[in-house]
């Protein structure tokens, strides 16, 4: 998980295991609306269903974790 990706908030390139964007403070993890399982925002499209509870996932179905 050390690759670069765009922050979902400000689109600044960020990297690694940061919990929040260094530019805007946006949380960089997403949380399953069904069970609370979380993963990196950049993987939201990888998981069509939550591997923990089976809830439908995707950027439109998840909420950013809060600060």
Q: Are the C-beta atoms of residues 29 and 19 closer than 8 Å to each other?
A: yes
Residue-wise pLDDT for 9-54, tens only, equals 899 998 878 889 999 999 888 888 899 998 887 777 678 888 999 9
Q: Which pTM value belongs to this model? A: 0.61
Q: How far apart are CA 39 and CA 60, in angstroms?
A: 15
């Amino acid at each position: 998980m050390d690759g670069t990706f765009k922050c979902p908030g400000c689109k600044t390139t960020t990297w690694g295991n940061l919990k929040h964007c260094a530019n805007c403070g946006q949380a960089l993890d997403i949380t399953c609306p069904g069970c609370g399982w979380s993963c990196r925002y950049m993987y939201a499209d990888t998981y069509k269903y939550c591997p923990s509870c089976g809830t439908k996932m995707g950027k439109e179905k998840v909420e950013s974790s809060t600060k």
